[in-house]
Amino acid sequence: MRKLISLVLILLTPLMVFAARPKVALVLSGGGARGISQIPIIKELESRGIYPDIVTGTSIGALIGGLYSSGYSALEIEEIVKQEDLSDIIFNLQIEEQNLDRPYSNYDRSLISLSISDHGIGLNNSLLDDSKVEALIKRKLSKVLDIKSFDDLSIPFRCVGTDFVTGEAIVFSTNLYDSLRSSMSLPLVFSPNQLKDGRYVVDGGLADNLPASIAREMGADIIIAIDVNDSVRANATEPYYLETLSGVAKQLIILISMGSVRSEHQLSDYLMIPDTGDISVIDFTSVDEILHVGEAFVSENKALFDQIEEELKGYLPLEKPLAYDERPYLYIDEIQLPTLLKKYEKLFIPFKERVFDEAYIAELSTVLFKLKQRENFKSISYNVADGILAIDVKRYEERILNATIGLSADFSFRNDYLFFDPGVTLTSSYYIKGSKLTGKIRIGSINLLAFEYSYPLDKMLDLSFALEGGFGAYAKDSLISVKNHKPSQGGSISLLTTFTSNFTNKERLDITLKGELTKIDLFSSTPSIWYFGSGISYSSRSNIHSIDLLLQAGFNGNLCYEMKADTALNLDRFILSFKLRAIRGNESLASSYDVDLFSTLAKDRLSAELSYKLFTNKYWNLSIGCFFDLNDCGNTTSLIPFAALSDIVVGPKLSLDIKLLDTIDVSFIAALSNDKKLSIGMYVR
């Protein structure tokens, strides 16, 4: 009998030892950009062989935790936040997509736009568009998007969202993309994420910003929690902190999530609080600085890590989770399309029977972007399960009157030439079975009333008809100089028919027919100028090049035409650009001339510029270069382009370009010509 008992004890000993090993949980808090400081702390734990058995997180902590639980190492997550342009991905403004130039029409780029309907203000329920966030998450987690339970990830995982109706916490354990997107949905910033059961979910930080209790419910014996907000709360006691608007805003965000955090602190065995007091929740441009905050915490708190290591002595190193790279890619056998997309079925044929990798996702994102713009979908997304790619779309409600108010401004100043064109635009659109009727009123240097009807002829070809009436600065005088400027009271009426083909979201071809009647001064006896013609334009954009080609030709009693070519190559720190202009029109009209850096009017111009970026980042760059310009000073009478080029201008040029948000570009330029003319200019567009 004793031998039997001894044998049983020997057999059970390994199981008893295994059961005795404490379960370690890693709990990651929300906090926007501050959450990046958690990565060096995870990296330090890894270096000591401490790999968690459980991961829970909220908001940015959910995103980092989702990546970590899927098999990414802390170093790999660090590389992601460094290489991806997080600021551009997150702060993707909810504005109407900018159209590329087309014949006879320059797009109006709104600095601010706001939609008004009979349901309220704003057709979108957020300030930011989440499409780039979705693309990032799905691109980086493509191998695990179809996992049914988070317990099947490399590390069991949970994240938290907040029911936007009841305020209750929702703990996610399935559907990785929906879970992460829900946990990050800060109200007003990102739209609430709607689940299949109809519930709207917003940022988990409103209900539980440090989900230690969830880790305990999952069986954690040792909880290592990282709170990236507690040091910010401490700053609120400093003099003058709450005397500023920014200080009050920061503290309000902290207080909203503060209720549950204190109790979660008490549940944590090891609480780590990096000093993020000087970091804003939206400061995604300072990734290196935020990582340094985490590294500084590690350096200053070695004893705390030693304590964890001591408690786990005898069990280290813990079992390393399955790496993300070791997982196979998913394979797509079938595409599931909603009724609204059945007519585009051929577009999705190339996506069948393919590996679902990053190249696949990039191609798919391009197609979905085009369809969203073309069909005016409120959103278009997809899910992957059991080899099936299911596309999901949401439309704006057709009964809504969509009226958009846009504010725009063009400002140019150089030498004695001043151009300032602020504008307010009111646009109203109706969508009827794929077709679109738009009315537009613009108030600016040229006041415009326009109506346009567009109809899809094919999957990527649109036909539109437009009627436009304008009043304002049509005369050549509006281009000459601020000193000689005369108020312009011209007017025009025009009819346009346009065929538009969008090859990709950054490549477009337009063919337009136009008839127009213009009078330079409506209140004088000056004769009217009529015009009939057609034009074709092509535009293409990529990370390294831009191409704009335009050719317009017609009659106004004489032959008229305009040729325009703008190309630019962005080769690392060098920028090479070429411009070509050839314009023949009525010499009394401003549209018949081009204006150079030195306020010279020209009908023909050839120019080239080579610049070198001295200092550059994603928001601004300072460059120095040289330019060459050959023009006719507006004196040519020949119809042959470039037959009378005479004025050669060469010289150095210094430029400072600043990008504000996604809609405003500010440029400061200083140039010196070969005849010692100095041009100093500022441009806001």
Radius of gyration, alpha carbons of the chain: 31
Ranges of beta strands (E only) in 118-251 are: 120-121, 157-163, 169-172, 193-194, 200-203, 222-226
Distance CA 416, CA 599 (A): 8
For residue 99, give the 3-state DSSP assignment: coil
Q: Note whether 517 and 452 are within 8 A (CB).
A: no
Contact present, 394 and 340 (Cβ < 8 Å): no
Q: How many Cβ atoms are within 10 Å of 396's Cβ, its own excluded?
A: 17
Residue owning tokens 């907040």: 162
List, in order, residues 6 or more apart from 97 with CB less than 8 Å away.
373
Judge whether 7 and 32 are in contact, CB under 8 Å: no
Give 601-616 as a DSSP string.
Answer: EESEEEEEEEEEEEEE
Q: Whose structure tokens read 């908001």?
A: 59
Round to whole Å and give the CA distance between 599 and 480.
Answer: 8
Contact by Cβ (8 Å): 135, 420: no
Catalytic-role residue among 29, 37, 53, 59: 59
Distance CA 138, CA 384 (A): 10
Torsions phi, psi of 158, nearest 5?
A: -140, 145
SS3 228: coil
Whether 381 is catalytic: no
Residue 203 designated active-site: yes
Tokens 């704006």 correspond to 396
User: Catalytic residue among 130, 203, 275, 594, which?
Assistant: 203
Q: How, if at all, do strands 270-272 and 222-226 pair?
A: parallel
The residues near 303 (Cβ < 8 Å, ≥ 6 apart) are none
Residue 250: is it exposed, middle or buried by C-beta count within 10 angstroms (0-12/13-18/19+)? buried
Residues in the chain: 685
Q: Are 179 and 147 in contact, with CB atoms under 8 Å apart? A: no
Which distant-in-sequence residues (6+ apart) come within 8 Å of 244 by Cβ?
none
Q: Which residues are catalytic?
A: 59, 203
